[in-house]
């Protein structure tokens, strides 16, 4: 069994006991434990069930590479699946649950899959679910969905908050082990800004566990001293619990800081996503130990040799009473020594190499530990826990020579440098055959804008696995002089011997139980099958078998899988190549990516100066771009449609008030401004007299209508262009694009004044009366005729009044400085109470414009519509030699009389046509779909006319006035007659009074 | 005449730094030829400041001139003087191609103050604050919206955004300044 040792544990604080639960059972641990350490201390080796076969799975590693020991952590709104117990710090009250097990971890029904392993081979999904087709949806998928998957999806909204932050540094050192610290110290001496990120809560990495001495002192002491000197330097920033997830072009690095994972419920951002711009990156990311592929290597109790050592030294946790070590290298002997020194039993070290004659094996032998050379494991015996190992000759086919009882197996297949951050931006690797690992190729490092390498691996990450080499390498990577490098003393290690399968001649029976990818349940037999079926590319094999595609991204499995594939293909490993390393290095939270963008500040909400008044008046909102505009203001128990009808009727009969502040307002000024606007609009704006307004259409180069609005001539050289509410920024950018890129020699300046002014539309028969009451400006028909504007002081506020109408009524739009917007709005309400004044919203605006047959950008236009389609020829100049879109509009397709054109539509029974419905035509189009001849673009109930009104685009529409079209909605046919689109006041008398 | 109201009427929040909407600030967008002597003279007359260089902001007696782009400046004057100053600039530059517009009401101004003010802005703006001296202005973004900022005092950052998003920016700054969420490493 696994248990807590009576003494030791360099990372735990025994004076601070913490209680937590696993599957409802209350357990105890200490501050400084990881969840994995605390679970092991409570003899909880079985943590979950595997993805495909539901095999019992335990703790395999002690760090970020862990594939198995994932749990659901937290409760309610803080529940999160797939939390890696080996990297999660224990906190008081942590509630953890096992995953992928039903009805429970010990008795799991899905484990039946385990018996069916022959029927769930590589490519199982592809092979099985292709035929018959109906079977996937009705048979396979429901079953697979039940039994597959890892964690449960959280049901509640996340209770935590997240944030991001930006940082800039000359040198970014990733990894706070001894190599990272040495590199940082060397780099900092040059005075450059240095940022050091360490993914765990502790500095020093593996060195203190491995018993290394540096500069004559124990590694722990050197680490403390070095961290203290770095912290004292003003040009160095140290961040723990921060994992560099991705390196991108131009030294851009994304890292996640676990600010409060260990302090749930604190008023802190849980994670912080750092977005760092680094001049140079030193990846001192260490190396990850590889498992060995022997039968039963996934049974709980089998773990990495380095992890077994970590649990003993760091957390004083014994992974088992009797631990058999199986290795192909000297490093694993350190585990034997650590276990032995902690008073635990190491019955044997099985060394796959023919000879184990190095310094470390000698130390093991000196302690009386049995070292068996040329031996391996034929099979691990046990189900939910290791019971024994069967020993065989590595060179043979698995004949059992001896059975050794044990409850833990510590395995080491060598180390893989963590080259992820170097490889992500394009760094290339070379195969080091002697050490069985890929290392960075210094000749093909990722390069920055200056063509120079910007990511350097340092220490074990660069392949310098021995402590002395690692420190020298890291010191050099930091720019230090060789003579000043920190000196490490560690036992010399003899060469390892790559072992990809144990024993090397294992028969199929054993290969079926040799796990490569523990999280995705991919075995040696699966990769070999893929090779037999013709897979040669490692990328294809990866996808076919799902090797390395789980949330651990194959940190432990990729090299082993690659070696098995290469062997099956009969080629050396470099010929097969590696899969691509992609960010993130380890999963980061969606919360950190979204950061502050949630709830109220999910998106910027644009508010007019009258926004709060609308809210207080109970406005029902409509999003327009990022603005919120009142859709209507329901009163009493009114429905929205009742409110809209009332607002329309009241505006037509009395007086309506609309907050039109969102309208775009762009000032265009300069000697060439007139010429510029003539090019931008389809109509002539240069001829507009000062003091007058003109409606204008803007088209793209391709002739399509992109915006409309009223243009005002303010002065000889200045125009004010109104745009649609959603279009202000887009049109301003459109203007600047043409000015800066095409007509850079034209003397024109623009300024977007949209938000400088609040704008209020005063609309209805009583509009003039209201403005007269407000006082200060002559708004008589003579002084301010239709399509003119004036300036002055209205109600004591500086104002510009435009006599324009989008409703067909007598109408003024009043622009006042935004800081007076609310005051003006209130002044209107006060002065207009007895004139029947009511505010109205965007829907009433839409109904009234539709009654008048006015088009709306986005309803009548969709990016394929030209002004000529909309009967807007009157707003297109025939005289102007050019305007944006003119030539496009002359193309044959644009002048085709068959084009769909704007008409009015009235149903025969007065009902309202559904929006967007199509009118079918006889026959089929070239795609074999039903031909169509028209569609509805705007449709409303008109309270003014008491029936439905609509506009639509219809093939040769204006030529077919009076014809009845059948529109089809939800299988029902609705007859509607084609008519003129102006339903109300065709002569325009009302707006002209 | 009614009293003008700034976007958030001086709202503020206290955390590890203080966030406050600074009320009404006169602002003028001036576009023109920055190499022109007449323009430099007009800027001097309007603000008392010499023409700022690239990314520069010059401040004098409560007024300022800030560089926005190769042909644009932002002038800061007391709110009540903005309209007259814009008109004076237009008049002074009548002989050349220039545009002066009062944009005081189109903007909101925030001050983030305290020894850790930088840390608030670091969460929202991709700016190297360690290398942002006094006298420099940055046009950048605050989370999802455009912003401009400068060091208005050793422990104070001034940040300008559009008026319509003042509420959004205030909420951003306030949550970023929440006590306990300092960026300083432990």
Inter-chain residue contact B102 with A823, CB threshold 8 Å: no
Q: Which two tokens stand for residue A6?
A: 């009576």
- Per-residue confidence (pLDDT) for residue A119, from 0 to 100: 59
Give chain A positions within 8 Å (CB) of B130: 168, 193
pLDDT at A424 over 70: yes
- Cα dist. A776→A62, A193, A692, A796 in Å? 79, 63, 20, 7
Q: Does B186 contact chain A (CB < 8 Å)?
A: yes
Q: Are A165 and A275 in contact (CB under 8 A)?
A: yes
In this prediction the ipTM stands at: 0.97
Average pLDDT over residues A877-889: 96
Q: Are A828 and A764 in contact (CB under 8 A)?
A: no
Give chain B positions within 8 Å (CB) of A600: 171
Out of B162, B168, B178, whose CB is closest to A755?
Answer: B162
- Per-residue confidence (pLDDT) for residue A992, from 0 to 100: 86
Strands B72-77 and B63-69: what pairing? antiparallel
Closest Cα in chain A to B3 = A820
- Per-residue confidence (pLDDT) for residue A878, from 0 to 100: 93
Residue owning tokens 């029976």: A509
Strands A349-351 and A323-327: what pairing? parallel
Q: Are A942 and A848 in contact (CB under 8 A)?
A: no
Average pLDDT over residues A313-332: 98
Out of A165, A193, A604, whose CB is closest to B122?
Answer: A165
* Beta-bridge partner residues of B58: B65
Question: What would the pLDDT profile of B5-31 be if each residue is shown by its tens digit?
Answer: 999 999 999 999 999 999 999 999 999
Nearest-angstrom CA–CA distance, B58 and B52:
6
Inter-chain residue contact B176 with A596, CB threshold 8 Å: yes
- Residue A102's pLDDT band, with cuts at 50, 70 and 90, is low
pLDDT at A147 over 70: no
* Beta-bridge partner residues of B26: B77
Calculate the average pLDDT of chain A.
94
Question: What would the pLDDT profile of A186-242 be if each residue is shown by its tens digit?
Answer: 999 989 999 999 999 999 999 999 999 999 999 999 999 999 999 999 999 999 999
A521 vs chain B: nearest CA distance in angstroms? Answer: 40
- Per-residue confidence (pLDDT) for residue A126, from 0 to 100: 63
pLDDT at B186 over 90: no
Contact residues for A716 (Cβ-Cβ < 8 A; gap 6+): A690
- Residue A51's pLDDT band, with cuts at 50, 70 and 90, is confident
Q: Does B13 contact chain A (CB < 8 Å)?
A: no
Out of A601, A750, A753, whose CB is closest to B106?
Answer: A753
Domains by residue range for chain A, with CATH: 162-286+448-489 (3.50.50.60), 291-413 (3.50.50.60), 611-662+756-848 (3.30.1360.120), 665-725+733-754 (3.30.70.1400), 897-993 (2.40.30.110)
Q: Are A991 and A805 in contact (CB under 8 A)?
A: yes
SS3 A110: helix
- Residue A101's pLDDT band, with cuts at 50, 70 and 90, is confident
DSSP code for A787:
T
A463 φ/ψ sector (left φ>0, alpha ψ -120 to 50, else beta): left
CATH of the domain spanning B12-176, picked from 3.30.450.40, 1.20.1440.230, 3.30.1360.120, 3.20.20.70: 3.30.1360.120
Out of B2, B165, B181, whose CB is closest to A797?
Answer: B2
Contact residues for A902 (Cβ-Cβ < 8 A; gap 6+): A855, A860, A869, A870, A871, A937, A951, A952, A953, A957, A958, A981
Average pLDDT over residues A626-645: 97
DSSP code for A959:
G
Q: Which two tokens stand for residue A191?
A: 């005075």
Give a three-class secondary structure readout of A490-509: CCCCCCCCCCCCCCCCCCHH
- Per-residue confidence (pLDDT) for residue A665, from 0 to 100: 98
Handedness of CA A65, A71, A77, A78 (dihedral sign): negative
Phi, psi of A161 (to 5 degrees): -115, 160
* Beta-bridge partner residues of A940: A949
Residue owning tokens 């986005």: A858
Residues 72-101 of B with CB under 8 A from A: 83, 97-99, 101
Give chain A positions within 8 Å (CB) of B126: 166, 275
The residue of A258, A751, A757, A814 whose CB has the most chain B CBs within 10 angstroms, and thus the best one to mutate to test that interface, is A751
B58 vs chain A: nearest CA distance in angstroms? Answer: 22
Average pLDDT over residues A432-444: 94
The residue ranges of every structural domain in chain B are 12-176
DSSP state string for A298-317: TSTTEEEHHHHHHHHHHH-E
Inter-chain residue contact A823 with B122, CB threshold 8 Å: no
Closest Cα in chain B to A823 = B2
- Per-residue confidence (pLDDT) for residue A517, from 0 to 100: 94
Taking the CB of residue A760, how many other CB atoms lie within 10 A of it? Answer: 25
- Per-residue confidence (pLDDT) for residue A125, from 0 to 100: 61
Nearest-angstrom CA–CA distance, A249 and A962:
63
Give chain A positions within 8 Å (CB) of B125: 166
Inter-chain residue contact A753 with B143, CB threshold 8 Å: no
- Cα dist. A259→A37, A90, A790, A833 in Å? 21, 14, 59, 57
Give chain B positions within 8 Å (CB) of A238: 185
- Residue A53's pLDDT band, with cuts at 50, 70 and 90, is confident
Share of chain A above pLDDT 70, in %: 95
SS3 A477: helix
- Per-residue confidence (pLDDT) for residue A394, from 0 to 100: 98
* Beta-bridge partner residues of A381: A388
Out of B4, B97, B145, whose CB is closest to A671?
Answer: B97
Closest Cα in chain B to A754 = B106
Inter-chain residue contact B104 with A827, CB threshold 8 Å: no
pLDDT at A947 over 90: yes
SS3 A433: coil
Based on its alpha-carbon atoms, the radius of gyration of chain A, rounded to whole angstroms, reads 38
Nearest-angstrom CA–CA distance, A19 and A99:
21
DSSP code for A28:
E
- Per-residue confidence (pLDDT) for residue A130, from 0 to 100: 58
Q: Which two tokens stand for residue A815?
A: 């622009």
Alpha helices in A404-454 (DSSP H): 420-423
Question: What would the pLDDT profile of B126-173 be if each residue is shown by its tens digit?
Answer: 999 999 999 999 999 999 999 999 999 999 999 999 999 999 999 999
Q: Which of A652, A635, A623 is nearest to A847 (CA)?
A: A652
């Amino acid at each position: 069994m696994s248990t807590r040792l009576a003494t030791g544990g360099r990372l735990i604080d025994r004076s601070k006991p913490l209680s937590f639960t696993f599957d409802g059972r209350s357990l105890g641990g200490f501050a400084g434990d990881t969840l994995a350490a605390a679970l092991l201390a409570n003899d909880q080796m079985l943590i979950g069930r595997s993805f495909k076969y539901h095999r019992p799975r335990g703790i395999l590693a002690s760090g970020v590479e862990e594939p198995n020991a994932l749990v659901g952590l937290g409760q309610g709104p803080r529940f999160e699946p797939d939390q890696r117990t080996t990297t999660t710090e224990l906190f008081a009250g942590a509630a953890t649950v096992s995953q992928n097990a039903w009805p429970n971890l010990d008795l799991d029904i899905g484990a039946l899959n385990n018996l069916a392993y022959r029927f769930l081979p590589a490519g199982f999904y592809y092979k099985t679910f292709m035929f018959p087709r109906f079977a996937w949806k009705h048979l396979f998928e429901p079953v697979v969905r039940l039994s597959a998957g890892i964690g449960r999806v959280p049901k509640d909204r996340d209770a935590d908050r997240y944030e991001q932050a930006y940082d800039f540094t000359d040198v970014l050192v990733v990894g706070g082990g001894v190599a990272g610290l040495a590199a940082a110290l060397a780099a900092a001496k040059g005075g450059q800004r240095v940022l050091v990120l360490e993914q765990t809560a502790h500095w020093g990495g593996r060195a203190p566990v491995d018993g290394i001495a540096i500069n004559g002192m124990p590694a722990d002491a050197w680490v403390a001293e070095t961290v203290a000197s770095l912290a004292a330097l003003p040009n160095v920033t140290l961040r723990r619990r921060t994992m560099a997830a991705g390196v991108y072009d131009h030294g851009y690095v994304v890292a996640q800081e676990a600010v409060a994972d260990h302090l749930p419920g604190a008023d802190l951002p849980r994670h912080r996503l750092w977005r760092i711009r680094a001049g140079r990156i030193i990846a001192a990311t260490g190396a990850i130990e590889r498992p060995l592929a022997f039968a039963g290597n996934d049974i709980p109790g089998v773990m990495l040799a380095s992890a077994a050592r970590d649990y003993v030294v760091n957390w004083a946790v014994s992974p088992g009473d009797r631990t058999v070590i199986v290795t192909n290298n000297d490093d694993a002997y350190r585990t034997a020594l650590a276990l032995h020194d902690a008073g635990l039993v190491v019955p044997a070290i099985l060394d796959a190499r023919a000879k184990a004659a190095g310094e470390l094996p000698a130390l093991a032998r000196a302690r009386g530990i049995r070292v068996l050379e040329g031996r391996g494991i034929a099979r691990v015996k046990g189900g939910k826990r290791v019971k024994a190992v069967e020993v065989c000759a590595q060179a043979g086919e698995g004949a059992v020579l001896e059975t050794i009882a044990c409850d833990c197996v510590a395995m080491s297949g060598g180390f893989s440098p963590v080259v992820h951050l170097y490889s992500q931006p394009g760094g290339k690797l070379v195969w080091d055959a002697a050490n069985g690992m890929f290392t960075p190729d210094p000749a093909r490092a990722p390069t920055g804008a200056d063509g120079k390498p910007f990511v350097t691996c340092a220490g074990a990450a660069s392949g310098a696995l021995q402590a002395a080499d690692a420190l020298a390498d890291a010191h050099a990577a930091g720019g230090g002089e060789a003579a000043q490098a920190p000196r490490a003393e560690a036992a010399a290690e003899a060469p390892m011997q790559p072992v990809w399968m144990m024993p090397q001649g294992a028969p199929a029976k054993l290969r079926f139980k040799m796990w490569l990818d523990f999280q995705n349940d991919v075995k040696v037999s699966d990769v070999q099958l893929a090779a037999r079926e013709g897979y040669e590319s490692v990328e294809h094999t990866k996808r076919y078998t799902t090797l390395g595609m789980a949330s651990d991204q194959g940190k432990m499995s990729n090299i082993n899988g690659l070696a098995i594939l290469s062997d099956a293909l009969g080629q050396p490993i470099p010929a097969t190549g590696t899969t691509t390393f992609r960010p993130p290095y380890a999963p980061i939270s969606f919360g950190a990516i979204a950061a502050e963008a949630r709830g109220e500040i999910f998106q910027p909400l644009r508010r007019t100066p009258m926004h709060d008044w609308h809210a207080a008046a109970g406005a029902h909102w409509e999003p327009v771009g990022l603005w919120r505009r009142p859709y209507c203001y329901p009163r009493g128990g009114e429905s929205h449609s009742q409110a809209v009808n009332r607002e329309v009727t009241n505006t037509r009969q009395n007086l309506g008030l609309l907050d039109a502040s969102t309208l775009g307002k762009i000032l265009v000024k300069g000697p060439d401004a007139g010429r510029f606007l003539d090019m931008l609009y389809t109509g002539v704006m240069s001829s507009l007299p000062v003091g007058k307004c003109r409606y204008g259409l803007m088209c793209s180069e391709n002739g399509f209508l992109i915006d409309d609005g009223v243009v005002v001539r303010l002065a000889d050289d200045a125009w004010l262009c109104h745009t649609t509410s959603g279009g202000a920024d887009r049109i301003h950018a459109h203007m600047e694009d043409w000015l800066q890129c095409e007509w850079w020699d034209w003397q024109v300046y623009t300024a977007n004044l949209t938000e400088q002014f609040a704008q209020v539309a005063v609309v209805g028969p009583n509009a003039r009366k209201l403005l007269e009451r407000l006082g200060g400006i002559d708004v008589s028909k003579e002084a301010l005729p239709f399509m003119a504007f004036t300036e002055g002081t209205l109600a004591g506020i500086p104002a510009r009044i435009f006599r324009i109408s989008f409703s067909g009524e007598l109408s003024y739009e009043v622009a006042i400085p935004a800081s007076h917007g609310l005051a003006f709005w209130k002044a209107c309400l006060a002065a207009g109470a007895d004139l029947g004044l009511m505010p109205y919203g965007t829907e009433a605006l839409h109904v009234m414009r539709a009654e008048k047959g006015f088009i709306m950008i986005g309803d009548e236009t969709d990016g394929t519509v030209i002004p000529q389609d909309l009967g807007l020829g009157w707003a297109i100049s025939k005289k102007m030699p050019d305007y944006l879109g003119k030539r496009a509009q002359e193309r044959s397709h644009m002048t085709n009389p068959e084009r769909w054109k704007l008409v009015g539509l009235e149903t025969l029974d007065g009902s309202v046509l559904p929006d967007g419905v199509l009118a079918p035509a006889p026959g089929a189009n070239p795609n074999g779909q039903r031909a169509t001849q028209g569609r509805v673009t705007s449709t409303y109930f008109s309270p003014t006319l008491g029936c439905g009104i609509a506009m639509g685009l219809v093939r040769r529409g204006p030529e077919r006035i009076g014809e009845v079209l059948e529109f089809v909605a939800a299988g029902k046919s609705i007859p509607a007659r084609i008519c003129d689109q102006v339903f109300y006041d065709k002569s325009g008398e009302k707006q002209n009074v | 005449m009614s009293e003008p109201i700034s976007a958030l009427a001086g709202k503020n929040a206290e955390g590890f730094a203080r966030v406050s909407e600074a009320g009404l600030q006169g602002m003028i967008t001036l576009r023109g030829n920055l190499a022109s002597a007449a323009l430099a003279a007009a800027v001097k007359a309007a603000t008392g400041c010499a023409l700022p260089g690239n990314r520069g902001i010059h401040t004098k007696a409560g007024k300022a001139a800030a560089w926005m782009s190769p042909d644009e400046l932002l002038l800061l004057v007391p709110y009540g003087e903005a309209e007259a100053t814009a008109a004076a600039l237009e008049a002074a530059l009548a002989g050349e191609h220039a545009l002066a517009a009062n944009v005081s009401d189109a903007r909101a101004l925030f001050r983030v103050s305290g020894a850790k003010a930088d840390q608030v802005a670091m969460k929202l703006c991709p700016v190297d604050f360690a290398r942002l001296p006094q006298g420099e202005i940055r046009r950048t973004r605050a989370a999802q919206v455009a912003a401009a900022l400068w060091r208005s005092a050793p422990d104070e950052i001034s940040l300008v955004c559009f008026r319509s998003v003042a509420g959004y920016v205030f909420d951003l700054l306030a949550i970023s300044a929440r006590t306990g969420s300092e960026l300083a490493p432990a």
